[in-house]
Amino acid sequence: MLQKLTKRRLLKAIRQTLRVLTVVAITFFGLLLITFLIGRVVPIDPVLAVVGDKASPEVYEKARIAMGLHLPLWQQFLIYISNVLQGDLGTSVLTAKPVTEDILRVFPATIELAVTATIFGVLVGIPLGVFSAVNRDSFLDHITRVIGLLGYSLPIFWLGLMALMVFYARLDWLPGPGRVDVFYEDIVDPVTGIMIIDCIIAKEWEIMRNAIWHVILPALLLGYYSMAYLSRMTRSFMIEQLRQEYVLTARVKGVAEWKVIWGHALGNCAIPLITVVALSFGGLLEGSVLTETVFSWPGLGLYLTNSLLNADMNAVLGSTIVVGSIFLGVNLLSDFLYKVMDPRAR
């Protein structure tokens, strides 16, 4: 009997795994199809981007054949899929290097910014949402909702420019654009690509302090949007949980109010909040484009912006695939954690 039960659970787990892998494969295929079609629809000639406007017709035709653009569209798509699966995203026109190499070089800076912003969003947004739900329709609740509304409404590039003008140009409280001051650049070897960690490895404490000061303003600005989203969702989850009978039962039994709120109610909110935090992190990776551009932060967002301005479609499409793949991975991770923490989902 035990062997039959174990075998049944194993078969069920295998079916669920195959189902998830099928969904992932279909989603990734759709992502590749969309990026491929975008690359063919945009009014930019990839051959001219490589050979230049003054190239002769013979040179143009040779480059076109070398790039496989003379083949039927379906064959080009198959070659495109094969190259992506092998990690080949093409060569950047702007840097003359493989796009994969460029992304590996700039992506740690985006991770550094997004992780810092997410930490700020979680540490501020979740407690703010809890206090707002507990004090529903109070002055604090209205203030919290207004802060969240501003976070959704104000353009991030405008906030970035205003923050630089106030805290850097006028008050001189925080440093300006970039990851470190100019005279600190290229001193620390990029072991991980994350400046603060690399400074710790190299024991360059002064540069590390400078890097921390530089990350504060863009991370707070980017984290403000994460905080607005998390506070709003936490408030909604907490209001729903505070209406449940187990909360009333705990209060009747004399359980301390702080334990009812932070232990019981927020504990039950933790499961859906995992998905919210994961999606927020993925959104920060995508939304960092304007923030990195305003603050000259040398990450994936700035790389993508420069590629767009220079019609470097290989770099643009490669960056799009990376961001889409991260969203897919984050969703899978949140689903896995959801099932681990909630037995009902299993």
The predicted model scores a pTM of 0.81
Q: Quote the DSSP letter at residue 45.
A: -
All structural domains of the chain, each given as residue ranges with its CATH number in brackets, are 19-85 (no CATH), 105-345 (1.10.3720.10)
Q: What is the pLDDT of residue 1?
A: 55
Of 124-128, 180-184, 281-285, 297-301, give the lowest mean pLDDT range.
281-285
pLDDT > 70? residue 61: yes
Element (H, E) at 90: none
Please state, for a pLDDT cut of 70, what percent of the chain lies above it: 93
Q: What does each C-alpha distance from 273 to 114, 135, 235, 238 come to in angstroms?
A: 18, 20, 11, 11
pLDDT > 70? residue 3: no
Matching residue, tokens 């994936």 = 300
Q: What is the pLDDT of residue 253?
A: 82
pLDDT tens, residue by residue, 235-264: 888 888 888 888 888 888 887 888 888 888
Measured in whole angstroms, the distance separating CA 118 from the mean position of its chain's CA atoms is: 9
Q: What is the CA radius of gyration of the chain?
A: 25
Tell me the H-state helices in 88-204.
99-134, 139-153, 156-163, 195-202
Mean pLDDT, all residues of the chain: 82
Q: What is the mean pLDDT of residues 35-48?
A: 75
